[in-house]
Amino acid sequence: MSPTYQPLFEPFTLKSGIQLKNRIVLAPMTTWSSNPDGTVPDTELAYYARRSGGVGMVITACTYVTPNGKGFHNEFAADRDEMIPSLRSLADTIKGKGAKAVLQIFHGGRQCPPELVPNGETVSASDVPLEKEGAVAPRPLTGDEIQAMIQAFGEATRRAIEAGYDGVEIHGANGYLIHQFFSPHTNRRDDEWGGSLENRMRFPLGIVAEVKRVVAEHAKGPFVIGYRFSPEEPETPGITMEDTLVLVDSLADQGLDYIHASLMDFFSQPRSGADTETTRIELIRQKAGDRVPVMGVGSIHTADDARRAIQTGIPLLALGRELIVDPDWVEKIQSGRESEIKTTLSKNDQAELVVPDPLWKAIVNTPGWFPVQEHQQ
């Protein structure tokens, strides 16, 4: 391996005491590939196995914590104890390849397709519908339902512990339920769960506190707790960089193992509400200080992209699409073959890349999402 890339392969010890063998993480990505009953099929296990050998940690695709939280067709479930054997099969697959296994727990809120949730009734912080034609307004959760929802995240965490995961990531990003409570665009409540920034943080921080409580009660050893967030929204009003830095400041005091900034471009700069000359990830790192490690993600395609990213002082880098396009990305750098990393795929590569049919169809039929060539170069 070139010494240039050595920093990517330094071990890293999280606050809980769990050590990662390197700084590269498989980012959470939906696969639309689970069974109708919410269990994980062999095709999905094979997909994870193919990508878990080189990275230090794998964050799974999101899994829903209540029946009305299912955000995707063929999403796998963590909403009931019957799912523990299925969840265990995924944890065992990832850990069997030498990576730490982290289960991402989630509720889709207003983004859930009505046909996937009981009685077609979607729920959210407020009755603000999605910005698309024909969208139905979600029903605002009651105070009692909010408390029950917080507990549901705790119950999913208990199942993750029982299934043998090394940790959980709370999915507070990308416009889903936790994000909907934090955002002034989707949270128009006038009770203790809405209005001021402090009130809008109450739901996310309540989930963090409940997850921590469950881990303290049920985990027999070190257990990772991470939190993913989206730094900004395009809407006005919406989440600003300023809002996010207040959230980061609070999250940094919670004893978390990491916070994960969901970005399309690692080096992107804020829209407004902060120093727009500085990258978002740098502002987040400055605010977090040495209180909590920051994980960055977004358009890290090559070994040199990763080297540049790690040089910013961000200790953990998550790769998503890159590890679909080239599952051997990490191993190629490690063995001095970084020039062989593939950055495009062809429509004939499915079998070689071990990608389940539903995900493959999405890849080849969604223009601009993946760099698809007609023939591999």
Active-site positions read 176
Q: Which amino acid is at 81?
A: D
Helix (H) or strand (E) holding 306: helix 303-310
C-alpha 71/C-alpha 180 separation (Å) is 14
* CA dist., res. 126 & res. 356, Å (int): 36
Q: What are phi and psi of 142, to 5 degrees?
A: -80, 165
Alpha carbon distance 323, 55 (integer Å): 10
142-148's contacts with Cβ under 8 Å and 24+ in sequence apart are 143/191, 143/192, 143/193, 146/193, 146/203, 146/206
Three-class DSSP labels, 142-193: CHHHHHHHHHHHHHHHHHHHHCCCCEEEEEECCCCHHHHHHCCCCCCCCCCC
What six digits make up the tokens of 199? 């009130």
* Amino acid (1-letter code) at residue 229: F
Q: For residues 4 and 306, what is the distance between their CA atoms, to the nearest angstrom? A: 11
Q: Cα–Cα distance between 94 and 165 in angstroms, integer?
A: 9
Asked if 86 contacts 99 with a C-beta cutoff of 8 angstroms, the reply is no
